[in-house]
């Protein structure tokens, strides 16, 4: 195959692939907008909200036991052999068959609890279980906010890193062009031209890796937001813009943990267990109920359908149940509930100590990273100034390529360290907000 034919076929293939290689539609979203979409469409949050509805239905199911229960029943019985009674009449034994061929029973029955402490306490526990489900849903939303924050910040870091690498690539192209012109003028060797060309080839994989990292961050963000389209999400702000509002956290006193989701869940669970202890004690209290029955009965011989005469029968009554002895099951059930309550109190104490240490560590990280940002910013400015001086010296031939390369690497490293410090600061703040249970994003959604 000739070279011309090969080039022609490659050109045709490239034209055919142009639609597939075209860029997806880009959309610029703020962090708050991403949070709003995620809190609305994320499957985990939707399932958590459904769990709240499920517990609410369970409460209504328990509450229905307070109302009268009305049932209808119908029963038909056909005798195959009537019951025989043998009796002595006048010294003679006679057999008498009793009953009828057909027996019909149908009617209504109603029952109503009058005194049922265990039922009332179960309803109270159901109300608290709704609070527990609401807190679980809130915890899911707070965790989602933290994940979206981190994905958004990672996307910002990926874009900032790519910009630094792209700048480095453009500079490498510029330097290669300088060497090429110097080589043409006889002031540079072919080795210098090849070395600058190799530098360009070495940066190209880094650009490709930066693009892959950005795609991964965008994919993760879209998954958290519940978006399945081919949109490319871009942030509406840069890490450098956010740096202006970053400051150290006052560490004189630890912030309150009253809104921490784990702690609130344990407190709600403690309330449920306390009510469960009371419920176990109510097992010794007598219960009183009322019942009413209205029924119709028909007895006949022969056809089960014809000549049926239904006679009404009704009664109303109350029933009292007094627990006396159950083998100790009620006592052991009470002791088990009390042990569970004590275990939870120990867990709560341990959790408070653990959360205090986590908050203290998070604040230390924020303060250290705030200082690191300032230090990295100063180092970046110095590296940029040093590189600018070295670049001018290189252009006039007063500096070697190795000197320029060292300054270039120092400048790149300083910029990447600066953006990494800002990213670390944002991540630590998001983790602290999760620990403190801040609902700013949830409230803004509403």
Provide the pLDDT for residue 5: 38
Provide the pLDDT for residue 352: 92
Provide the pLDDT for residue 4: 41
294 near 118, Cβ under 8 Å?
no
List pLDDT tens digits, range 330-345: 889 899 999 999 999 9
Please give the Cα distance from 396 to 187 (Å, whole number): 11
Please give the Cα distance from 5 to 1 (Å, whole number): 7
366 near 248, Cβ under 8 Å?
yes
Burial of 78 (0-12, 13-18, 19+ CB in 10 A): exposed
* Mean pLDDT across the chain: 84
* Percent share of the chain, pLDDT over 70: 91
Range 96-115 average pLDDT: 88
Provide the pLDDT for residue 253: 63
Nearest CA to 334 out of 273, 270, 269, 277 is that of 277
Provide the pLDDT for residue 22: 43
Burial of 418 (0-12, 13-18, 19+ CB in 10 A): buried
List pLDDT tens digits, range 359-376: 989 898 888 888 888 888
Three-class DSSP category at 82: coil
Confidence of residue 43 (pLDDT cuts 50, 70, 90): confident
Confidence of residue 89 (pLDDT cuts 50, 70, 90): low
Please give the Cα distance from 167 to 411 (Å, whole number): 11
Provide the pLDDT for residue 407: 86
Task: Flag the least confident range among 21-25, 181-185, 221-225.
Answer: 21-25
Confidence of residue 20 (pLDDT cuts 50, 70, 90): very low
- Residue predicted with more confidence, 178 or 285: 285
Please give the Cα distance from 355 to 257 (Å, whole number): 8
283 near 328, Cβ under 8 Å?
no
Range 123-140 average pLDDT: 88
Range 107-111 average pLDDT: 94
Task: Flag the least confident range among 99-113, 143-157, 385-399.
Answer: 385-399
Task: Flag the least confident range among 113-117, 167-171, 393-397.
Answer: 393-397
Q: Which residues of 371-401 are buried (b: 16+ CB within 10 A; e: fewer)?
A: ebbeebbebbeebeeebeebbeebeeeebeb
List pLDDT tens digits, range 395-440: 777 777 778 778 888 888 999 999 999 999 999 999 999 999 988 7
Range 371-389 average pLDDT: 89
Nearest CA to 41 out of 141, 158, 114 is that of 141
Please give the Cα distance from 20 to 106 (Å, whole number): 74
Range 231-252 average pLDDT: 78
Confidence of residue 149 (pLDDT cuts 50, 70, 90): very high
Residue with tokens 């203290």: 360
């Amino acid at each position: 195959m000739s070279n011309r034919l090969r080039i022609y076929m490659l050109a045709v293939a490239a034209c055919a692939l142009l639609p597939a290689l075209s860029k997806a539609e880009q959309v610029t979203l703020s962090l708050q907008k991403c949070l709003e979409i995620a809190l609305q469409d994320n499957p985990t949050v939707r399932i958590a909200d459904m769990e709240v509805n499920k517990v609410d239905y369970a409460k209504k199911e328990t509450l229905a036991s307070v109302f009268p229960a009305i049932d209808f029943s119908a029963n038909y019985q056909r005798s195959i052999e009537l019951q025989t009674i043998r009796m002595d009449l006048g010294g003679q034994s006679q057999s008498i068959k009793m009953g009828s061929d057909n027996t019909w029973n149908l009617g209504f029955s109603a029952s109503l609890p009058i005194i049922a402490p265990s039922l009332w306490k179960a309803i109270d526990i159901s109300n608290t279980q709704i609070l527990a489900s609401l807190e679980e849903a809130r915890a899911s939303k707070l965790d989602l906010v933290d994940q979206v924050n981190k994905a958004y910040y990672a996307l910002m870091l990926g874009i900032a890193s790519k910009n630094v690498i792209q700048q480095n690539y453009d500079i490498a192209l510029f330097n290669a062009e300088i060497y090429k012109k110097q080589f043409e003028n006889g002031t540079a060797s072919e080795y210098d031209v090849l070395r600058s060309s190799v530098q360009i080839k070495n940066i190209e994989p880094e650009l490709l890796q930066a693009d892959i990292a950005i795609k991964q961050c965008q994919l993760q963000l879209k998954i958290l937001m519940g978006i399945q389209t081919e949109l490319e999400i871009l942030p509406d702000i840069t890490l450098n813009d956010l740096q202006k509002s970053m400051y150290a956290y006052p560490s004189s006193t630890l912030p309150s943990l009253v809104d921490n989701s784990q702690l609130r869940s344990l407190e709600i669970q403690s309330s449920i267990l306390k009510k469960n202890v009371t419920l176990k004690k109510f097992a010794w209290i007598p219960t009183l109920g009322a019942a009413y029955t209205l029924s119709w009965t028909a007895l006949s011989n022969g056809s089960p359908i014809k000549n049926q005469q239904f006679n009404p029968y009704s009664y109303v009554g109350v029933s009292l149940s007094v627990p006396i002895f159950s083998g100790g099951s009620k006592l052991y059930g009470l002791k088990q509930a009390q042990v569970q309550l004590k275990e939870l109190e120990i867990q709560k104490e341990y959790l408070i100590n653990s959360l205090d240490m986590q908050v203290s560590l998070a604040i230390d990280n924020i303060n250290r990273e705030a200082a690191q940002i300032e230090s990295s910013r100063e180092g970046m400015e110095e590296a940029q100034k040093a590189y600018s001086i070295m670049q001018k010296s290189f252009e006039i031939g007063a500096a070697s390529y190795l000197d320029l390369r060292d300054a270039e690497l120092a400048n790149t490293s300083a910029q990447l360290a600066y953006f990494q410090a800002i990213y670390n600061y944002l991540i630590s703040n998001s983790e602290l907000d999760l620990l403190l249970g801040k609902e700013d994003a949830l409230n803004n959604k509403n």
